Each structure stands twice: as C-alpha cells, then as structure tokens.
Amino acid sequence: MDPKVMQKLSYGLFVLTAKDGDKDNGCIINTAIQVTSEPNRITIAVNKGNFTHDMVKKTGVFNVSILSEAAKFDTFKHFGFQSGRDVDKAVGITYKRSANDVIYLDSAEVNAYISAKVIQSIDLGTHTLFIADVTDGEVLNPEASATYAYYFAHIKPAPAAKQESKKGWICTICGYIYEGEELPADFICPVCKHPASDFKKL
Ligand code: FE
C-alpha cells in the first residue's frame, strides 16, 4: 500500500484544553470529529504522551478550540512542541474560561470552541479515544477553519538552510533533527510525538 494514501484524509487542527485542580493545560490535536448529532457527540483521539491526555482521562472534561487559517506557527509551537509537565501553557496566551471552568483560546486564531464531557474512553495503545457529549460552545469569528493541509502549505515555515546542511532525519511536522544514519522504525519524535513515518532523510 502507498503510505501517502493516509495523507489524503482531511483533518482539522485544534487546541485541546483541560483543567485538573489549579493546573490548566493544552495540546494540539487533529482528531476532533462529530460522530452523532442526536445526541450531539464528538470523539477525540489523544496521544498518551501528552500531559493533557492524563488530565482529560482523570477529569472527563475538556474544550476543543478550533484553529482558523489565521493561526500562527508560534501557537503550534506553544501547544505542540513543549509539555505542560515543564511549562505553564496558560502563560503567554489569550484565553477565557467556559462554563465548565476549562480555558479556551480567545483570539483571532480560533474561530470557535466546543466544551465536552467524556462518556466513554477506549484504549487504542498509543492513544485513547474519548467519546464525549457536547455541553457548550460558541462561534468566535467568521475565519475559515484551518485544515492539516492548509497548515503544511501556509502556516508551517520551510526548514531552515542550516538544518538542510545537517546529516540525519528531520521530522516533517516540527523540524526536529535526529542525527544518525538509520532512524529506528519505532522512533517517536521527542518534540511533537509523531512517528518515524513522518521523518525524511536529510
Ligand atoms: Fe516532530
């Protein structure tokens, strides 16, 4: 099978946020999908390596901020390329709290948010699939929603020339460079948690 076939699937891009005690956190996901309308229900699949995953699993409550085409690469770096275990991701962003007390991004980069409550979770190995009832939500502005393809074409910067001169493998998602001849097949990007199939040889 041509592995590129999977890249033809269309995805949105979202900031998943949760709150555990006084701790707010968020991460980037591309897996929010409405699965039924009566009742209004969504699923999200979240990598277990994300701190936000553990918070959603524990509290069962989350928000999905829908990133628009106005989203900046810095926002992807802020939520995608560092861990809430190390930094407070609520610092340096513009946010509000919805009725469920969870933060959502309140800026031109997000066109809407959805609040949801987990009703079931399914262990998928690397990820957990959360099935959740939509409890609230609001449209914030008329910007078009960003797709994964739009992110690659217009938001993610091209790799810098100095990276091209290095030897090894580059993560096509975040730009992390693995220095070595052979990339292990089970390698996971330490920065953005994407698998070896998202790397290309320099
Ligand atoms: Fe990466």
Dist. CA 144 → ligand 1 center (Å) = 26
Q: Where are the domains of the chain?
A: 3-151, 158-201
Instruction: Write out residues in the chain with pLDDT < 70, as ranges.
Output: 159-165
Residue 31 CA to ligand 1 centre (angstroms): 17
Amino acid at 1: M
192 Cα to the center of ligand 1, angstroms: 4
Per-residue model confidence (pLDDT) at position 160: 62
Q: How far is the CA of 188 from the centre of ligand 1 (A)?
A: 8
Edge-to-edge strands, sheet with 177-178 = 177-178, 169-171, 199-201
Q: Could you tell me the CATH superfamily of domain 3-151?
A: Electron Transport, Fmn-binding Protein; Chain A (2.30.110.10)
Instruction: Dig out the tokens for 130 from the structure.
Output: 């959360």
CA of residue 197 to ligand 1 center, whole Å = 11
**Ordered alpha helix ranges (H), 84-182:** 148-150, 161-164
How far is ligand 1, taken at its centre, from the CA of residue 173, in Å? 5
Distance 89 CA to ligand 1 centre (A): 19
* pLDDT at residue 194, rounded to an integer: 85
The CATH number of the structural domain formed by 158-201 is 2.20.28.10
Q: Cα(156)–Cα(75) distance, rounded to whole angstroms? A: 11
pLDDT tens digits along 71-119: 999 999 999 988 898 899 999 999 999 999 999 999 999 999 999 999 9
End-to-end CA distance of the chain: 24
Ligand 1 geometric centre to CA of 80 (Å) = 9
| Dist. CA 116–CA 137, nearest whole Å | 9
CA nearest 65: which of 100, 30, 28, 105? 105
Q: Are 86 and 191 in contact (CB under 8 A)?
A: no
What does pTM read for this prediction?
Answer: 0.84
Predicted pLDDT of residue 45: 97
Contacts of 136 (CB under 8 A, 6+ apart): 98, 99, 100, 114, 115
Task: Report how far ligand 1's centroid is from the alpha carbon of 100 (Å).
Answer: 32
- What is the rounded CA–CA span in Å between residue 164 and residue 46? 31
How far is the centre of ligand 1, averaged over its atoms, from the C-alpha of 196 (Å)? 9
Residue given tokens 């949760």 in the structure block: 18
Predicted local confidence at residue 163, as pLDDT: 57
DSSP letters for 85-106 = TTS-TTTTS-EEE-TTS-EEE-
The candidate with the shortest Cα–Cα distance to 28, out of 111, 148, 128, is: 148
Cis status, amide bond into 159, omega within 30 of 0: no
